Chain A
Amino acid sequence: MEPFFKKLLAMDRRWIFLALGLAVIFPTFIHLNLPGLKPSPNVTAVYDLIEGMPEGSKVLVSFDFDPASKPELAPQGVAVLRHLFRKKHKVVAMGLWVTGVTMAKDIVTRSAKESNAKYGEDYVYLGWKPGNFAVIENMAGDIHGCFPKDNDGNETASLPLMKGIHKLAEFDLVVSLAAGSPGIDTWIAYGSDKYHFKMTGGTTAVNVGSMAQYVQAGQMVGLIGAMRGAAEYELLIDKRADAAAGMDAISLGHYLIVIFVLLGNIAYFVTRPRKGGA
């Protein structure tokens, strides 16, 4: 037994990489549809909030992530946008990360096309401006001054949707899908805590722990966490997509990691030098 575990501990780590890679690749070819996906209270809170708003509510969606976090946050964005367009809410999209501008536009445009939303009337994409928290402060006072033109160069004041919106506080809800900072914490510190609009959002798995404090303190309503949160949201809006499909791969990967951790711990205890005499 001991020689086996010694060999295990000395194993080239690249075999572990390969095993993990296969565990994630396998479900992309064979759909396992593993059971057990149920909406959590935090995700349900976001869904209920959007579902409960009167038709035509004005919602700002901020895509605060770059392509590195796309697998986790893009499905969240797509699911939330589908819900917003289905409820005929008016969507104003933007981003605080420069590297995510084009990607965010792609997500918004595809979701809008799917829902037959009209640009300028049902949704607008403002794009990005530098300054992080300064952008939020600027928008709080005068959105048209902060974004005189949208991402395509149209005068913001000329867009029908933007005619009725001048300040951040006029939005019925702000949704921040964030991979870090600037993100949810920035929107809360410089936005919702100061100008009192409703706030919700989604974040990556790494940041869920840090953002949970805002949910607990009531500074935001619910939180969509990681790809799992996106899968739960897809379940709630009855449209399984990328995230729900990805849960099989994530689950298999997790099972494998748990097995490795257990094996590693057993190997550690079996192979460590014993105290005292033979």
Chain B
Amino acid sequence: MIRAVAIVLLATTAAAAQAPADFKVYDKPGDAGGAIIAEWKGLPDEGKPMAEGGVEYVVSLGLSKDGPWTEIERFPGTLHRKNEAPDLFGFSKSNDSEHFIELEGLVPPPGGPWLGTGRSLPTWVKLEVKSPAGAAVAGPLMAEAAPDWWSWNKSNVLLFILFFGGATFWLISKARRDPNIFVRRIPGLDAMEEAIGRATEMGRPILYLNGLNGMDSISTIASVSILGQVSKRVAAYDSQIMVPCYDAVVLSVCQEVMREGYTAAGRPDKYREQDAWFITQEQFSYVASVDGLMIREKPAACLYMGYYYAESLLLAETGGSTGAIQIAGTDSITQLPFFIACCDYTLIGEELYAASAYLSREPLQLGSLRSQDAGKIFIIATLLIGALTAAAGFPFVKHLMATF
């Protein structure tokens, strides 16, 4: 009986004094240096309070194997689990029962901080396990902090950029070889044809606005591209177009594009440079001037293509009051509701770029549009698979998309 008790006591004492298994110390991966990681497997019953057989871990650092030791942190067995740092250890189930600690503020090697930043002197780490029944020591083990070239945490974003970028380049080169890439017809484009025809029949001009951004804005580029095609139609129908501009650089681009449109339609003689002119670069002065133009000239069609700000409703309302057919296209999310309320047709966001690609058939625009669709397919597939696998209890898609 006594022997049995002694064996049990010995076993209990031996278990409590057991050093953690798999104690490792290494440079923190994927960082700019300055930190090392110590990790180890958890002990049985470590989650209990100390009085009930739980444990306390004490981590100490030293610059040599024999010390002297500086205590860095003391914590119970419930803390510093690997599942708190999925950026370092992933999402494995075993992380719930394993520990780690990140050690920073290490002693750098002599020689100045601005070269070799992130390096440290060889640092020894000792792990002590304290419990009511006794204590045990793991280590000491040595590691040196060093900066890394590669951060694995951002690999998923890199892969996505490579996929998307690669798809874009490939699809642009495909569009160069075969410009007849299918782009679905956008309803607003049919309306544009109808608007130009209507203006010709009524003998009234078409008003075309490019928005209030400069040539660095994607929507202005798309707008100017559409203007080229509209000018071609206007030239073919022998109609009239007015293009009041907000930006001087946009004006010169518009004039060139219109000249090309008229030439392409075989009517270079009909092109008039004064059909496009600069008004002012002040928002509401521009609007006041265009509103006055609408009321005086009574255009049959008003086309608002580009980026707009608070003046969108002022323009659309005045255009509506003159009885013109109005078609808008903008990627300005805050102004879309106003255009949708006031205009006959609205190209929403990306439809403006698609319209530009559809009309111009430029390989660069077609390829970019296609690659955006490829990106959308990828996202749709990811969402579907992610939702289904998460519901089945396998959230690996969600883990793959984790960003750190």
A interface residue numbers (CB < 8 A to B):
193, 196, 206-207, 210
Contacts and interface: CB of A to CB of B under 8 A. Distances in A.
A137 to B, nearest CB: 14
Contacts of A196: 404
5 contacts: A193-B403, A196-B404, A206-B334, A207-B334, A210-B333
A206 B403 CA distance: 29
- The range of chain B's interface size is under 10
A207 B334 CA distance: 8
A207 B332 CA distance: 12
A206 B404 CA distance: 30
Nearest to A210: B333
For the complex of A and B, 5 pairs with smallest distance between CB atoms: A206-B334, A193-B403, A210-B333, A196-B404, A207-B334
Contacts of A206: 334
A120 B362 CA distance: 59
B15 to A, nearest CB: 37
A210 B403 CA distance: 21
A99 to B, nearest CB: 15
A234 B334 CA distance: 28
Interface in B374-404: 403-404
Contacts of B334: 206-207
Nearest to B334: A206
B105 to A, nearest CB: 12
A232 to B, nearest CB: 23
A97 to B, nearest CB: 16
A210 B337 CA distance: 14
B399 to A, nearest CB: 15
A206 B334 CA distance: 7
Nearest to A193: B403
A196 B333 CA distance: 29
Contacts of B403: 193
Nearest to A196: B404
Nearest to A141: B32
Contacts of A193: 403
A196 B403 CA distance: 10
Interface in B295-325: none
Interface string B355-374: 00000000000000000000
A265 to B, nearest CB: 12
A206 B333 CA distance: 10
